[in-house]
Amino acid sequence: MELLRSLAFFLAAGLCEKALRASFANGGDYLVWLWLREGRSLWYAVVGAVLLVLYGIVPTFQPAHFSRLYAAYGGVFVVLSLLWG
């Protein structure tokens, strides 16, 4: 059961990252960049910051140890990036 839970969180984090990048002008980081560099509304920075924080929270729900978790996330994100492309 714990394995299925971990896989679900891996998939959720990966999809959040890819969906955020596709749906919100290439992610929260890009929204903050648009605010700072392009003079867009402060709302770009606020939405971008919220997205980045939410994306950072998802991995904390994993039951696995931190170092193993982030090593595995790297591989999952590479595979999801290839599938997304």
What is the mean predicted confidence (pLDDT) over 68-82? Answer: 74
* Residue 11: band (very low, low, confident or very high) from pLDDT cuts 50, 70, 90: confident
Asked whether the beta carbons of 35 and 45 are under 8 A apart, the reply is: yes
CA angle 42, 46, 47 (to 5 degrees): 115
Query: Whole-number mean pLDDT of the chain?
Result: 75
Query: Measuring CA to CA, how many Å separate 42 from each of 9, 14, 18, 49, 52?
Result: 31, 27, 23, 11, 15
pLDDT at 25 over 50: no
- pLDDT, residue 43, reads 93
Please give the model's pTM, rounded to 2 decimal places: 0.55
